[in-house]
Structure 1
Amino acid sequence: MVGNLPPETASFVGRRGELGSLDSLLRERRLITLSGVGGVGKSRLALRAAAAHGRARADGAWWVELSPLRDPRLLTTTVAHALGLADHSVHSPDEELCAWMADKDLLLVLDTCEHLVTDVRHLVGELLQSAPGLTVLTTSRERLGSSGETVLDVRPLPFEGPDSDALALFRARAVAVAPQSAAVFADPVRAGVAAEVCRRLDGIPLALELAGARMRLWSLEQMAHRLGTRFEVLSDTRATLLPRHQTMRTTIGWSHELCEPVERLLWARLSVFSGDFDVAAARAVCAGGPLTAGRVERVLEGLVSKSVVRRSEERGAGARYQMLDTIREFGHDWLAELGEVRSVADRHAHWYAALSAAADEGWMGPGQVDWYRRITAEHAQVRTALEHLIGTDPVVALEMAGALWFFWFSCGHVHEGRRFLQRALDAAPPTGPAHTQALWALGLTMLLHGDMESAQATGAECTRAAARLADPERELRAAYLRAVSVLMPGDPREALALAGPRARGGHGGRTSGVGWLLCRLATGYALCALGRFEEAAEEARGLREACAELGERWLRAYADYILAVAALGLGQHGEAARHVRAMLSGKRLLGDRLGIALGLDVLAAAVAALGDGELAARLLGTGHAWWRTVGRPQMGGSPSLTALRDQGERQARAAIGDAAFESAFRGGAAAPTG
């Protein structure tokens, strides 16, 4: 099935009636909201329904987790990235997302919307108006209030009777942590005690899971007694809450009291994390006082065993962890009681600032793919850290935003990067290396937006700032920015004057530095645009060798692209296809959608020249689909890129005819771009 639905992390119990109702609604209505108290199982129900319904949609089912998002201005880019779109267009993200969605037949699930209700309501309204084939399913503690919204109230599991769903869930969680308890539930008398526990917990799934986790240590009778005592003590303390909210808060508070002191402390400090996190981050951010760094991992596993923290999927080096919103909110209240909100948020932000600096250092080396995956996994934490630092430590925010240039520029987060960079530049003093680096990174985002006038002005400002620092590497980076800002509109001679061998030699600097290598890349493009293909190939071979020595993949793939374009110009069509396939292999590793779109156009031209018009048409169709995910076909109509793409189409049409071309093109365009 097309889409990105996360895997189910535990067995699914009950909900037959709700699933039936939801299945009907998803066939008949376009906006459905699952509403209910925190912990009642809205997300699990949405995931199960989406998995079934997505198979019937041509473009699948797509899941967007909004829980970690705090800045509503990033809502659209968050949705776009979950759908596999890169935000390279100068148009607003809303416009681009609506345009891309217009002809799609898909189910979009927006999970955990209650803190963004107004913004979600606005975006969903625009999307539904633009895309007749779109259905939206949201989960939220409160309804969106949108026109045409159908609300399905997700109630707790039924808890009456020996075969109730609540009892089945409680039994399943208890047996998972204490297999010997299966015999306990088989005893009719003791099963009655278990049913009483389920009644006390109002059948709320999260409450049942927390209780089930205690079966590792307690008997059913002990649990029923202690739970009853706890509810009697707290039954009047939250009279303003609705009964189910009160039950949920009381159950979490009960679980909190049953934790060891260091577990409570870690629980509170972990609440600073948005989304999932790894052990290294937990250790760096949460250690202190009685919770030493050496104890964090053991205490974390204790919270996992109590169902307070969940172990999520393993990514790269190891496991990652997360807390449900309801539990994290309780922990954050406790953190405020301890008076540690600011200090823990500071540690969190500085940990991710240091991680971003390390990623910048490692980007041009053999760990590039690993850094891409690591920063992508930490995207929610990076956002949280930058938001905090802009308000508390603008200089560190500027350093962090600039260090992430490769993430904004190379990994498709252009709108977000431009916003963060501009905010950091506005907040921090306009001097020093960090200012120059952030200014350059801002210019890169302008290039990808097609805002060449702003990029040229920013490049000139970067040049002056680099000259003041007397830093050849900064000068070379500024030269690249200026060169590309004139190259893309169609002035390769000026680009060559700015970034060519003579210009590079005048600046000096390391020949293996980012600035030098980027200037070589711009030189190769400019030489191809001037028809000097042999010189372009020589420049590209030198760039490729330098990148291979560094163990770098992103720039090396673009060197392969220049070699392919040069080979096409020289009539070496087989060589061109070989080079561009190598380029596409590198770009897929790094999720570079712009690079993939560029490469497919060149491969289509090479294949068409070799006489395979049908394959060329399919490749052009697939390339068209990838360009749509970027938002700027042929970089906004760059003369050289448009000419290359048109050349492939003319040859393919000539080879197989217009009707066959259109059919193959449509087939290629329908291929998934995930």
Structure 2
Amino acid sequence: MGNLPVVRTSFIGRSGELASIERALEEHRLVTLTGSGGVGKSRLALCAADRAEDRFPDGVWWADLSHLHDDQLLTTTVCDGVGLMDHSSRLPEDALREWLADRRLLLVLDCCERVLASCGNLVDELLAAAPGLTVLTTSRQPLGIAGEHCLDVPPLPAGDDGDEAVRLFRDRAATAAPRLALDDPATATAVEEICRRLEGVPLAIELACARLRESSTQEITGRLVSRLDALTDEARWPRHHRALRTAIGWSHELCEPLERLLWARLSVFRGVIGTADAEAVCSGGPLTCDAIAPALERLAARSVLQRVGEGYRMLDTLREYGAMWLAELAEDTSLADRHARHFASVAAQAHAGWLGPSQVAWYRRIADTHADLCAALDHLLAEDPEKAVEMAGCTGLFWSCCGYLHQARVYIERALALPLSPGPHRTRALWALGITLTLQGDHKAARRVGEECNRAARRDQDAESILSAAHSISFTYLMMGRPQTAHSVSDHALRHLPDSSRDAPSHMRCRVIRLFALSALGRLDEAYEEATRLQQISLSHGEHWARAYADHQLALIHLLQGRPRHAETHARAMLASKHTLHDSLGIALGLDLLAGAIAAQGDGVEAARTSGTGHTFWRMIGHPHRGTPELGAIRERWERHARESAGDTAYERAYHRASADDAERGLAHALERQSSP
């Protein structure tokens, strides 16, 4: 159980360090691996965490902090790392403490140096709140809190005292230059000299290996000797820093001019870099758009970039070097602005494409670029408030489904607090804030924002704005347990707007609220017709969000009217769609219904298991009501039926086993299981 990154290159040596970390994790609750950039702290921590997995029944969880430039997103990044997507209005720190309180897990925080003080405070609080928590961190400096056990990570042994650096060189060289005869005596001697000159620093060795495509080992040795001799100032370039500075600087010099320019411009990115994003942000001047893709490939071949899926990632040390050159080129301000405006455009395109066949792709795109979207918003909030509020409104609904409710609320409230002109962009931001507040259970604030959104929409005289306001208000009333009011608001908006608004995204969203309200009012025949019609409209658009909720309601109606097999089919369809969208709230709702359908068919043990998995998702999102309020009594009836079928002992065993299991594994089981004949 956990989320450790998958690394495709082999791990070389470090047996002594791994043994020390293993002992330290047995004796201390906070272990920090310290060392200079490029020395291999992250890779060592990953290997140690993987080896320790069996000791932690609740898993090993990894949070990468390398993209953080301040502490605003620290806690939410850690929440993401442990799989917590809290939907409540609590502070993220409070939600995280509660989530970890009764768990026995290992939390790895990688690259803490940028947010050192805040990271230390957070770790101190978490260790106090969660007795079963152990934390392993990597940092260029210690966190400096009580109970911290530091282990310095040295470079790999090189030269006469060991051969781990040589082994690393040989392993990476086999990929970079597979035809190189490493056993040739002259080559072997040169390899040993390279590793000795580079002081065994792993990143420096990997960068040197990348040179083997165009230089011999003897040529590399000669260049290193001359370059290192030039760096004689020990005060400025301590021993290990000199080796890494030499390797990075040499790699930079050996890049073509356009590759160096791209390296510098890529430093504005925070997360995984897609080719299209690099083309949009980094092209200009001598670096044409067509030159970006091949230059990315060459930078990856030189180990400046790492391939991650279909994109690229730059190590923090190399990003810092690129940022230094970007400032030297006096392009840092203009590139930050281009980066921000590009991702604002991505958010706008996603919002415009929400109601269509690319909906799933846009959800994934917004989730995958989260770090860069946050960086863009931070920049625009300072430089262009109008663009910031437009962007915040566009990301609102996506972030609510992707589990980023706290970020959505913070960014939208920051944007709306700025002096802004009235208009549809501000109205959309109010709508997104109202949805966010409702999902967090802050209904009083949501009603206030919904009414403000409604007043703004009337001023806009825009059909989509009016429907958005109705959606926000009716959704809040539905979640407050007032389905009649929710129905009245959504139905009035749907009936009194022109036919031209029927293809507006919020038209579909209002239909979902009206459908839920009909079911809650017991008007099941009307609800069935509405759900069937909604499903047809959804299919015509090729979207999944509304279709999933149509399936949810069809499952509920079939179940209430005594057709549990039909209910199970629709509940599974709903789960599949919500899983595709990574919508944890929708998954939790679907699991509740699926458990009821299975219980109604007499399989109490499987119903208990499904309900236990649902409990895991409800805990993960911290939802205060487990969905719409009127389902509470119905869930209790399904649970009683399941207990009677299975017996209390078997029910409790299956339920607790599932609720303690990995959420994704439990969901996979629920999706795979078929109804018994």
With the shorter chain as reference, the TM-score category is over 0.9
Question: Out of 649, 664, 667, which is 1:659 matched to?
Answer: 649
Aligned counterpart, 1:510 = 501
- Equivalent-residue separation in structure 1 for 2:232 and 2:117 (angstroms): 33
Q: What whole-Å deviation, never above 9, does each CA across 1:331-375 have from its counterpart, x for those lacking one?
A: 101111110001111111111111111111112111111112222
Q: Residues 524 and 539 of structure 1 are in contact (CA less than 8 Å); yes or no, is this contact kept in structure 2?
A: yes
TM-score calculated relative to the size of structure 2: 0.95
Question: Out of 659, 662, 668, which is 1:669 matched to?
Answer: 659
1:110 aligned counterpart, secondary structure: strand
Counterpart residue type for residue 435 of structure 1: R
Q: What whole-Å deviation, never above 9, does each CA across 1:471-509 have from its counterpart, x for those lacking one?
A: 122111111111121222221111111112x44111335
Aligned counterpart, 1:330 = 321
Aligned counterpart, 2:437 = 446
Using the TM superposition, give the Cα deviation of residue 38 of structure 1 relative to its aligned residue in structure 2, in angstroms.
0.2
Counterpart residue type for residue 74 of structure 1: L
Using the TM superposition, give the Cα deviation of residue 232 of structure 1 relative to its aligned residue in structure 2, in angstroms.
1.6
Question: Out of 427, 452, 459, which is 1:468 matched to?
Answer: 459
Q: Note the 1:42-53 alignment, pairs <5 A.
A: 42-53=41-52
Using the TM superposition, give the Cα deviation of residue 300 of structure 1 relative to its aligned residue in structure 2, in angstroms.
2.1
Aligned counterpart, 2:189 = 192
- Equivalent-residue separation in structure 2 for 1:265 and 1:560 (angstroms): 51
Aligned counterpart, 1:66 = 65
Q: Residues 602 and 644 of structure 1 are in contact (CA less than 8 Å); yes or no, is this contact kept in structure 2?
A: no
Q: Note the 1:256-295 alignment, pairs <5 A.
A: 256-295=252-291
- Equivalent-residue separation in structure 2 for 1:520 and 1:370 (angstroms): 23
Counterpart residue type for residue 136 of structure 1: V
Task: Please tell me whether residue 380 in structure 1 is matched to residue 376 in structure 2.
Answer: no
- Equivalent-residue separation in structure 2 for 1:560 and 1:148 (angstroms): 52
- Equivalent-residue separation in structure 1 for 2:373 and 2:662 (angstroms): 29
- Equivalent-residue separation in structure 1 for 2:190 and 2:171 (angstroms): 16
Q: Residues 424 and 462 of structure 2 are in contact (CA less than 8 Å); yes or no, is this contact kept in structure 1?
A: no
Using the TM superposition, give the Cα deviation of residue 384 of structure 1 relative to its aligned residue in structure 2, in angstroms.
1.2
Structure 1 655/173 Cα, relative in aligned 2: closer, same or farther at 3 Å? closer
Q: Residues 308 and 327 of structure 1 are in contact (CA less than 8 Å); yes or no, is this contact kept in structure 2?
A: yes
Unpaired runs of 5+ residues, structure 1, are none
Counterpart residue type for residue 40 of structure 1: V
Q: Note the 1:576-655 alignment, pairs <5 A.
A: 576-635=567-626, 638-655=628-645
- Equivalent-residue separation in structure 1 for 2:292 and 2:587 (angstroms): 42
- Equivalent-residue separation in structure 2 for 1:385 and 1:672 (angstroms): 34
Q: Residues 84 and 673 of structure 1 are in contact (CA less than 8 Å); yes or no, is this contact kept in structure 2?
A: no
Q: Note the 1:46-125 alignment, pairs <5 A.
A: 46-125=45-124
2:143 aligned counterpart, secondary structure: coil
Task: Please tell me whether residue 229 in structure 1 is matched to residue 220 in structure 2.
Answer: no
Q: What whole-Å deviation, never above 9, does each CA across 1:103-161 have from its counterpart, x for those lacking one?
A: 22221111111001111112212222222222111111111112111111100000123
Using the TM superposition, give the Cα deviation of residue 170 of structure 1 relative to its aligned residue in structure 2, in angstroms.
1.8
Using the TM superposition, give the Cα deviation of residue 320 of structure 1 relative to its aligned residue in structure 2, in angstroms.
0.6
Structure 1 643/598 Cα, relative in aligned 2: closer, same or farther at 3 Å? same
Task: Please tell me whether residue 158 in structure 1 is matched to residue 157 in structure 2.
Answer: yes
2:307 aligned counterpart, secondary structure: strand
2:496 aligned counterpart, secondary structure: helix
- Equivalent-residue separation in structure 2 for 1:450 and 1:63 (angstroms): 29
1:277 aligned counterpart, secondary structure: coil
1:108 aligned counterpart, secondary structure: strand
Q: Note the 1:294-373 alignment, pairs <5 A.
A: 294-312=290-308, 314=309, 319-373=310-364
Aligned counterpart, 2:670 = none
- Equivalent-residue separation in structure 1 for 2:397 and 2:4 (angstroms): 27
2:582 aligned counterpart, secondary structure: coil
Q: Residues 35 and 41 of structure 2 are in contact (CA less than 8 Å); yes or no, is this contact kept in structure 1?
A: yes
Using the TM superposition, give the Cα deviation of residue 69 of structure 1 relative to its aligned residue in structure 2, in angstroms.
2.0
2:137 aligned counterpart, secondary structure: strand
- Equivalent-residue separation in structure 1 for 2:147 and 2:502 (angstroms): 60
Counterpart residue type for residue 34 of structure 2: S
Report the more deviating stretch, 330-339 or 131-140: 131-140
Task: Please tell me whether residue 174 in structure 1 is matched to residue 184 in structure 2.
Answer: no
- Equivalent-residue separation in structure 1 for 2:521 and 2:190 (angstroms): 83
Counterpart residue type for residue 532 of structure 1: R
Counterpart residue type for residue 670 of structure 1: A
Q: What whole-Å deviation, never above 9, does each CA across 1:517-543 have from its counterpart, x for those lacking one?
A: 111111111112211111111111111
Counterpart residue type for residue 13 of structure 1: I
Aligned counterpart, 2:668 = none
- Equivalent-residue separation in structure 2 for 1:528 and 1:641 (angstroms): 10
Aligned counterpart, 2:133 = 134
User: RMSD value over aligned CA atoms?
Assistant: 1.7
- Equivalent-residue separation in structure 2 for 1:73 and 1:475 (angstroms): 33
- Equivalent-residue separation in structure 1 for 2:200 and 2:605 (angstroms): 59
Q: Residues 88 and 624 of structure 2 are in contact (CA less than 8 Å); yes or no, is this contact kept in structure 1?
A: no
Using the TM superposition, give the Cα deviation of residue 657 of structure 1 relative to its aligned residue in structure 2, in angstroms.
3.3
- Equivalent-residue separation in structure 1 for 2:170 and 2:650 (angstroms): 60
Using the TM superposition, give the Cα deviation of residue 253 of structure 1 relative to its aligned residue in structure 2, in angstroms.
1.6
Unpaired runs of 5+ residues, structure 2, are 665-677
Aligned counterpart, 1:38 = 37
Counterpart residue type for residue 324 of structure 1: L
1:404 aligned counterpart, secondary structure: helix
Q: Note the 1:393-408 alignment, pairs <5 A.
A: 393-408=384-399
Structure 1 180/605 Cα, relative in aligned 2: closer, same or farther at 3 Å? closer
- Equivalent-residue separation in structure 2 for 1:36 and 1:163 (angstroms): 20
Using the TM superposition, give the Cα deviation of residue 175 of structure 1 relative to its aligned residue in structure 2, in angstroms.
3.1
1:301 aligned counterpart, secondary structure: helix
Using the TM superposition, give the Cα deviation of residue 162 of structure 1 relative to its aligned residue in structure 2, in angstroms.
8.6
Aligned counterpart, 1:413 = 404
Counterpart residue type for residue 196 of structure 1: E
Using the TM superposition, give the Cα deviation of residue 189 of structure 1 relative to its aligned residue in structure 2, in angstroms.
4.3
Q: Note the 1:548-559 alignment, pairs <5 A.
A: 548-559=539-550
Q: Residues 214 and 306 of structure 1 are in contact (CA less than 8 Å); yes or no, is this contact kept in structure 2?
A: yes
Q: Residues 601 and 648 of structure 1 are in contact (CA less than 8 Å); yes or no, is this contact kept in structure 2?
A: no
Structure 1 342/647 Cα, relative in aligned 2: closer, same or farther at 3 Å? same
Structure 1 409/272 Cα, relative in aligned 2: closer, same or farther at 3 Å? same
Task: Please tell me whether residue 565 in structure 1 is matched to residue 556 in structure 2.
Answer: yes
Task: Please tell me whether residue 18 in structure 1 is matched to residue 14 in structure 2.
Answer: no
Using the TM superposition, give the Cα deviation of residue 633 of structure 1 relative to its aligned residue in structure 2, in angstroms.
4.5
2:623 aligned counterpart, secondary structure: coil
Structure 1 639/353 Cα, relative in aligned 2: closer, same or farther at 3 Å? closer
Structure 1 222/557 Cα, relative in aligned 2: closer, same or farther at 3 Å? same
Counterpart residue type for residue 611 of structure 1: G
Task: Please tell me whether residue 246 in structure 1 is matched to residue 242 in structure 2.
Answer: yes
- Equivalent-residue separation in structure 2 for 1:523 and 1:53 (angstroms): 51
Q: Residues 70 and 114 of structure 2 are in contact (CA less than 8 Å); yes or no, is this contact kept in structure 1?
A: no
Task: Please tell me whether residue 219 in structure 1 is matched to residue 209 in structure 2.
Answer: no
- Equivalent-residue separation in structure 2 for 1:360 and 1:380 (angstroms): 18
Q: What whole-Å deviation, never above 9, does each CA across 1:154-177 have from its counterpart, x for those lacking one?
A: 000001239611111122223322
Counterpart residue type for residue 153 of structure 1: D
1:186 aligned counterpart, secondary structure: coil
1:135 aligned counterpart, secondary structure: strand
Q: Residues 435 and 475 of structure 2 are in contact (CA less than 8 Å); yes or no, is this contact kept in structure 1?
A: no
Q: Residues 533 and 567 of structure 1 are in contact (CA less than 8 Å); yes or no, is this contact kept in structure 2?
A: no
Q: What whole-Å deviation, never above 9, does each CA across 1:558-614 have from its counterpart, x for those lacking one?
A: 111111222233233222222211111111111111111111112222222222222
Aligned counterpart, 2:675 = none
Q: Residues 63 and 110 of structure 1 are in contact (CA less than 8 Å); yes or no, is this contact kept in structure 2?
A: yes
Q: Residues 398 and 428 of structure 1 are in contact (CA less than 8 Å); yes or no, is this contact kept in structure 2?
A: no
Structure 1 374/672 Cα, relative in aligned 2: closer, same or farther at 3 Å? same
